[in-house]
Amino acid sequence: MSERAHPATLWLSDDGFEVIAEREGCRLQAYLDSRGILTIGIGHTSAAGEPEVHEGMTITQKQADEIFRRDAARFRQECLGLVKVPVHQHEFDALASFIFNLGATQFRNSTALKRLNNRDYEGCAEAMLWWDKPPEIRSRRRGEVEQFRHARYESRIT
C-alpha cells in the first residue's frame, strides 16, 4: 500500500465516486429520505446547494450525474478544510462518503474527526460506526469503515 498523502493532493477516485453512488442510489424524481428531507438524484438535497429540491421535481440521469459531481467536489473542499493529517486514497474516499451522508457540520464536531486529526486512524474508524441511525444506515457505515480500514470498496456490509 502506498504512503499516506496530504488530503490536498487527493481527489475522489473513480472507485470512490462509484461506491458513493451505489450507497446513495439514484432517483430521478424528488422523494423524502428516511429523515423526511427532500432528495433527488444521487443523494442530493437543497442543503448541498443548487439545484434546490422541490416536490414533484424530476431530472434526467445526466443531470443527476452532473449534480453528483458538483456535490462531490464541494464535499472534497469541506474535507480538505477539516482533515489535517495524511490519508491513503481509500481512506479519503471513505471519508468523502461518510461526509456526503453525514454532512460537514456533523463531521466537524465528531469524535471520528478528532481521532483522525490525532493520527488515531483505527479510533476514527471505530467512531464512524457510532453514526448508526437510522438503523438502515448501519450496513453502509460498515462498508465505509471496511473501505477506510482495508481499501475494500463495498457499498454495504451486512
Say which residues have a Cβ less than 8 Å from residue 42's Cβ, sequence separation at least 6. 20, 21, 24, 25, 26, 64, 65, 67, 68, 71
Instruction: Please indicate whether residue 93 is annotated as part of the active site.
Output: no
Q: Would the CA dihedral through 88, 49, 109, 36 be positive or negative?
A: negative
The answer to whether the beta carbons of residues 5 and 87 sit under 8 Å apart is yes
Catalytic one of 33, 50, 52, 66: 33
Can you name the residues that pair with 149 across neighbouring β-strands? none
Instruction: Please indicate whether residue 50 is annotated as part of the active site.
Output: no
**Phi, psi for 129 (deg, rounded to 5):** -65, -20
Catalytic one of 24, 78, 91, 146: 24
> Are β-strands 38-41 and 44-45 bridged in parallel, bridged antiparallel, or unpaired?
antiparallel
Q: What is the helix (H) or strand (E) element at residue 49, kind and residue range?
A: none
Whole-angstrom distance, CA of residue 129 vs CA of residue 22:
19
Catalytic residues: 24, 33
